[in-house]
Amino acid sequence: MNVLIICFSQTGNTQKLADRISKGIVDSGNKCSTIEMKHANIDEIPDYELMGIGTPTFFYREPVNVKTFIQKIPKQDGKHCFLFCSHGSIMGNTLYYMQEQLKEKGYVVIGTFDSYADASLQFYPKVWHTAGHPDEIELNKAQQFGRSICDVSARIQNGEQNLIPEFQLIEDTWWAEASKKMTLESLRQVFPKFSINQDRCSQCLICQENCPVDAIDMEADPPDIQKEGCIFCLYCEKACPEGAIEGDWTLIKKVTRGNLEKYVTALKEAETEGKFRPYLDYEKII
């Protein structure tokens, strides 16, 4: 079986999952190609028998650029697909929304995988609760997932429809309500407007090259950042080696102050269920 994995990853955690899933697919005697979502050619998707899409979770669901990408892919009635994601504490409805969009395109999602991952947002502590993830246990599970997914596809094609997972939309939680409010319009109002410190900027273009939606033009006069289409992933400020991209985080820190305790509560529950392994005293991060 010839498999294509399309991955959106910024800090490298989702890419680690993609690499291990790919290794598992190859270990099972199948072929696998992995490509960054930004550079994926949607016209080549029909050439592959199975497609995988990987992403980090943004605001308890899939990022806007991932949603836009799925909207653009060609319809493929009955084509099999698998999904995977990384998340800092709460995965939310990420995989549900992705499979709903793919179902409209005729795809059948035959499997999913998710993992905790280290994360960092400018308005939260620098050391995150899930530091050390994905760990080797999670990466090995990702590889096992890859090793089995082609066999699952073949078995479904041979009539074992019970192997197709069911998805459920979760709505009655605080994070589900928060996710509905986090539109691009509201994020634009809450998140700071970035500015460029010209004395520090070296024109290295790292921010521009790593923007997932090409919303940065550092070669313009003056340089243009957070252009129309910005999805507020905030990665440009974190990626700048000179610290030349600046923003005032005062408002967003006030808005999100109560979230940390909720994240710790979720992680404690996951730890009790054996789903999360802390590598630091994450309760002290609050």
CATH number at residue 219: 3.30.70.20
* Share above pLDDT 90 across residues of the chain, in percent, rounded to a whole number: 78
* Same domain (yes/no): 108, 22: yes
pLDDT tens-digit readout, 134-169: 999 999 999 999 999 999 999 999 999 999 999 999
Does a cis peptide bond (omega within 30 degrees of 0) precede residue 134? yes
CATH number reported for the structural domain that contains residue 137 in this entry: 3.40.50.360
What is the pLDDT averaged over residues 203-212? 93
Name 161's Cβ contacts closer than 8 Å, sequence gap at least 6. none
* Same domain (yes/no): 96, 211: no
State yes or no: pLDDT of 223 exceeds 90.
Answer: no
**56 within some domain:** yes
How far the first Cα of the chain sits from its last, in Å, is 47
State yes or no: pLDDT of 46 exceeds 70.
Answer: yes
State yes or no: pLDDT of 200 exceeds 90.
Answer: yes
Average pLDDT, the chain: 93
Q: Nearest to residue 195, comparing CAs of 247, 152, 235, 259?
A: 247
**197 within some domain:** yes
Number of domains in the chain: 2
Alpha carbon distance 184, 213 (integer Å): 13
**128 within some domain:** yes
Supply the range of the domain harboring residue 49: 2-163
Q: Which band of pLDDT confidence, cut at 50, 70 and 90, is reported for residue 285?
A: confident
**187 within some domain:** no
This prediction's pTM: 0.94
* Same domain (yes/no): 218, 90: no
What is the pLDDT averaged over residues 13-39? 97
pLDDT at 57: 96
pLDDT tens-digit readout, 112-126: 999 999 987 888 888
What is the pLDDT averaged over residues 266-282? 93
State yes or no: pLDDT of 78 exceeds 80.
Answer: yes
**286 within some domain:** no
* Same domain (yes/no): 80, 200: no
Strand pairing report for 80-87 and 31-36: unpaired
* Same domain (yes/no): 126, 12: yes
Q: How far does CA 83 lie from the centroid of its chain?
A: 11
* Same domain (yes/no): 197, 157: no
State yes or no: pLDDT of 21 exceeds 70.
Answer: yes
pLDDT at 286: 66
Q: Residue 182, exposed/middle/buried by CB under 10 A (0-12, 13-18, 19+)? A: middle
**173 within some domain:** no
CA Rg value for the chain: 20
* Same domain (yes/no): 158, 26: yes
| Residue 216 · residue 227 · CB < 8 Å | yes
Name 211's Cβ contacts closer than 8 Å, sequence gap at least 6. 235, 236
Alpha carbon distance 159, 239 (integer Å): 48
**133 within some domain:** yes
* Same domain (yes/no): 222, 114: no
State yes or no: pLDDT of 222 exceeds 90.
Answer: no
Alpha carbon distance 245, 243 (integer Å): 6
Q: How far is CA 51 from CA 47, 54, 183, in A?
A: 10, 10, 28
**121 within some domain:** yes
* Same domain (yes/no): 222, 88: no
pLDDT tens-digit readout, 62-77: 999 999 999 999 999 9
Q: Which of 28-32, 202-206, 282-286 has the lowest mean pLDDT?
A: 282-286
State yes or no: pLDDT of 180 exceeds 80.
Answer: yes
What is the pLDDT averaged over residues 165-177? 95
